[in-house]
A and B are shown apart, each in its own frame.
Chain A
Amino acid sequence: MGISNYQMSSVIALLPEVGLLVLAGVVLTMDVLLKDNRKHLIAVTTAVGSLLIILAALMYSQPSGDLIWGGMVRDDMLAFVFRLAFIFAGGITAMFSIGSKDLAHRGDYYAIMLGAVIGMCFMASAADLIMLYLAIETTGIAGYLLAGYVRTDDRSAEAGLKYFLFGAATSAVMLYGFSLLYGFTGETNLSAIAPILASGTVSVSAICAIVVLILVGVGFKIAVVPFHFWAPDVYEGAPSPVTGFISTASKTAGFAVLLRVFIYGLAASEYWLPAMAVLAAVTMTFGNLVALAQTNIKRLLAYSSVAHAGYALVAFVAYSELGVASVIFYLIAYVVTNLAAFGVVIVFAHTAGTDDIQQYAGMSRRSPYLALAMLVAFLSLAGMPPLAGFFAKFYVFAAAVKADMIWLAFVGVLNAIVGLYYYLVVLKVVYVSPAPDGAGSIDIPATCKIALVVLSLGIILMGTASSPWFNWAMKAAQDLF
């Protein structure tokens, strides 16, 4: 008899997760075996391993669209695209971690990060409430550890604790929402829950309560107003590579859950759309306005990432195939762009030892290419062509206009102007202000250089040859409807 074809394909569908687990094991072993002066190989192994996993997944694990493993996991395009993005983010973060002296040579750090990536992968593919909750907790706990990883640094410890307290509280609230959902429908599988809600047997007030409770947990992950309070402190305190990772991969994983639960699971209940539209508008506006006043680059990026969650929500409330495709495209573009932005922050701090924006003065003379990478990343965040962020914003606003939410599109474009302003202010410091006396050139570690080149090219590629990426996002979106 042996393993039947069905089971074999189920195993292959989880190839990326299995690969990540193996990689985590290899990394831990290397940590024990390697001498201290060779431990930078751990980061390289993590990055190369991630790349191999992505290639293997592209070759062997093309999604079937089925529910597998007893309905725990849905092997669809949506999950596939997001999982590749998480693994990519993990690999890039490993390369950037070389630029942080607290993290570069710690094998367990890379293993925990890979654990977080595994959790995110399951967040994207889970189709059952139980699996979903386990995945969210796996990601969360790994994230708390990463944020507080540098125990000797008070701010890192504070970041870890804060992240943990907020995370634990919100996920408990979300769990209550899950339990209500189970209580009212008698099902834990989202594919079974959707038709029951659609049949109208569950009262509207119950659904509203469920939506609000779940939104607390998801809102924490994606850092939308009013669940964003943890973000600036955690972003500032956590080691920069971790901040880059949390602000991109973890936020994207939150959006994967949002799409899965709200569109696939709660499809029938559109009561929450107007409320979400307001949430999107408030999130964009708040994030951008507060970002204006920041003097620390990590806090600036923290508030800007709150704003970016708002833009993605705009496309989400458009509630259409185009809208979901725009959310996915936006997030992929955002992952690539924001990782590049944090890469620059890490490299700069590696030499200058500070995250103060004023200290970036004269960077374009100290290192023209690093300044160019920053220009590309920040202009992409601002939504300028020919960069990824331009197409991302364009698709988002197109989705909003198509859904006849002109007011939201206007709030969005006006916010884009506020965003442009503060990104330009930073670039002004980099390009116009004179360098402080005695500031020499900036040393860029080799892995960071490679990562920045890859990300910059990726940003330009997504901003010019946007079609293949968008078609991918479109396919993923079609899986949900």
Chain B
Amino acid sequence: MYMGFPILSVITLTPVTFSLVLFLFPADKKKEIRLTALVAASITFALTIVAYFGYDMETAGYQFVEKYNWVESLGISYYVGVDGISLPMVLLTGMVIFTGVLISWGIDDRPREFFAFLFLLASGVFGVFVALDLFHLFFFYEIAVFPMYLLIAIWGWKVTREYAAMKLTLYLFIGSVLALVGMLAMYFVSGLGTFDMIALQEVQFSMQFQKLWFPFVFFGFAVLAGIFPFHNWSPVGHVAAPTAVSMFHAGVLMKLGAFAALRVGVMLLPDGARFWLPLIVFLALTNVVYGAFVAMKQRDLKYVIGYSSVSHMGLVTLGVATLNPQGITGAGLQMFSHGVMTALFFACVGVVYDRAHTRDIPSLGGFAGKLPWVTVAFIIGGFVSMGMPGFSGFVAELPIMLGLWSAGTVSSEYFIAPYYTWIVMISVIAIAITASYILRVVQQVFFGKMPTEFEGHITHSSGKDKIAIVLLAAVLVLLGVFPGWMAPLISSGAESVMAVIGGI
């Protein structure tokens, strides 16, 4: 509750309510449908801003808490609240749904269904980020997964959409049902008869139980964060998805996986996390390096961004795997920064693709002349992604590296402790590789000479596109220059995570 107003419930339910409202419009009233969608997205975004700045930093902890019985006989409740980790994610989701609707203005095939499914997805995402009940979390997690299938299969890139949509859905669904069995095991073994996560994190599960079930829960959710070797659905899905869905998918959904893996896996089964830590660190590092190298070799603009997401999400997982406050703060910042950054990248790519009808990097060129706003925004996104100081990427990646470094000094009895220095060095080199492929894309797509076939029919970007792009780019710079409006918040969230898991 925020001053007596159930703000989190309203945020969660506004999109899904509007997705039902949209179905009251006749299919051919496309203009009205788009306007209604924009109204819904604006309301949602405004509410997330209110919630973000209404959060009381002094008291920290879970705020705006609401709890109602859902299925009483099994201890399932509708239980929501946000802390320093989840609140920035809520803001991010609000931002992406708002910019996503602006970017999708041009969708002409069944826009009613498109926005309805997109809003259903948004409600699912909000529901996961605010969940304090295990069942509540899982319920909304599934809602966030299946509309993706329809959004990609119906409105996606014709060449790969059916394959990509099915691949993505099956990967994510397999992960989530494995996590479900683990969650049920926790529920019954705890003996509390409740799905309340705050109560469950007090439970000391036996070491054997944690060792057995941690991988199911953690990797079940981490599939959605694109953890190696279960990352394959992700670039394929990004490429096939329509622009707004790519923005949602890379910007928000992958965070959903990382968030759930942290919230359910690490926070409820901390001993299991410590046991499996070396494997997680290894896989996350593979993400970072492998993603960057594969991105370097791509010709398709969306594949570049897709694999760069795989690489950057590895940094999030690395941050979580430090199990210390700096690392988790960095992971939280990276989730936000990367979310805004990829949303921006995909928005830019969408604008270019809508005009050029190709994403093949070598055959593009010289778009800076026609699309100056997009060019500047893309370069800002590029600076963020290579961790340039003054942009949000630096603010996020620095604490992750610091966290990794100090993890090596603190946990001396741990057999991987001596290798943390190497891990930091390898990650930093991977960031340098990022610089190489981002600069190549900037140079080849936006500068140089525009091929003759494009001349004449490349139009300027629309006002709505500009609003979306400027908003996202501004946030990235703002966070880079004044991290003070987010870093302490996430840091307070990381402290409360640490209080639960108790370090390495």
Contact = CB atoms under 8 A, between A and B. Distances in A.
B139 interface: yes
A402 B166 contact: no
Contacts of B184: 397-398, 401-402, 409
Contacts of A391: 71
A217 B116 CA distance: 47
Secondary structure dominating the interface of B: helix
Interface stretch (A57-65, A143-151, A425-433, A444-452): A425-433
Nearest to A325: B73
A413 B178 contact: yes
A296 interface: no
Nearest to B176: A413
Nearest to B123: A386
Interface string A405-425: 010011001101100110010
Interface string B67-98: 00111111000000000000000000000000
A420 B69 contact: no
Contacts of A410: 181
Interface residues of A, number: 35
A152 B22 CA distance: 45
Interface string B177-205: 11011001101100000000000000000
A467 B71 contact: yes
Given A385-B142, A427-B150, A474-B73, A421 B166 contact: yes
Contacts of B74: 398, 470
B113 A470 contact: no
Contacts of B150: 427, 431
B154 A471 contact: no
Contacts of A421: 166, 170
Interface string A386-401: 1000110010011001
Nearest to B161: A432
B367 to A, nearest CB: 31
B188 A368 contact: no
B181 A432 contact: no
B173 interface: yes
B153 interface: yes
Contacts of A417: 170, 173-174, 177
B110 interface: yes
Nearest to B140: A385
A279 B135 CA distance: 29
A27 B181 CA distance: 50
A100 interface: no
Interface string A331-365: 00000000000000000000000000000000011
A379 interface: yes
A142 interface: no
A402 B174 contact: no
A269 interface: no
Instruction: Say whether chain A's binding surface is mostly helix, strand, loop, or mixed.
Output: helix
A48 interface: no
Interface in A184-238: none
A122 B350 CA distance: 63
Most buried by A among B113, B177, B180, B187: B177
A427 B149 CA distance: 10
Given A406-B185, A431-B153, A467 B72 contact: yes
A413 B181 contact: yes
A406 B184 CA distance: 10
Interface in B79-137: 110, 112-113, 135
A21 to B, nearest CB: 36
Contacts of B170: 417, 420-421
B146 A384 contact: yes
A424 B27 CA distance: 23
B23 A372 contact: yes
B143 interface: yes
Contacts of B140: 385
Interface in B282-302: none
B160 interface: no
A466 B71 contact: yes
Interface in B313-332: none
Nearest to B120: A386
Contact of A413 (B139, B153, B177): B177
B421 interface: no
Contacts of B69: 467
B146 A432 contact: no
B146 A379 contact: yes
Contacts of A413: 177-178, 180-181
Contact of A424 (B112, B139, B166): B166
Residue from A364, A414, A432 whose CB has the most chain B CB atoms within 10 Å: A432
B177 A414 contact: yes
Nearest to A421: B170
B153 A428 contact: yes
A409 B216 CA distance: 13
Contacts of A386: 139, 143
B406 interface: no
Given A368-B27, A417-B170, A401 B181 contact: yes
A368 B113 contact: yes
A409 B181 CA distance: 7
- With most chain A CB atoms within 10 A of its CB, the pick from B110, B140, B146 is B146
Interface in A255-271: none
A424 B169 contact: yes
B162 interface: yes
Nearest to A383: B142
B143 A467 contact: no
Contacts of A432: 153-154, 161-162
Contacts of A365: 110
A181 to B, nearest CB: 34
Contacts of A414: 174, 177
Contacts of A397: 180-181, 184
B143 A431 contact: no
Nearest to B169: A424
Nearest to A398: B184
B135 to A, nearest CB: 8
A413 B174 CA distance: 8
A369 B113 CA distance: 11
A467 B70 contact: yes
15 contacts: A368-B112, A372-B23, A384-B142, A385-B139, A385-B143, A390-B139, A397-B180, A398-B74, A398-B187, A398-B188, A413-B178, A431-B113, A467-B71, A467-B72, A467-B73
Given A364-B110, A424-B166, 13 more contacts: A368-B112, A385-B139, A386-B143, A394-B180, A401-B181, A402-B184, A414-B174, A417-B170, A427-B150, A428-B166, A431-B154, A432-B162, A466-B71
Interface of B: 23, 27, 69-74, 110, 112-113, 135, 139-140, 142-143, 146, 149-150, 153-154, 161-162, 166, 169-170, 173-174, 177-178, 180-181, 184-185, 187-188
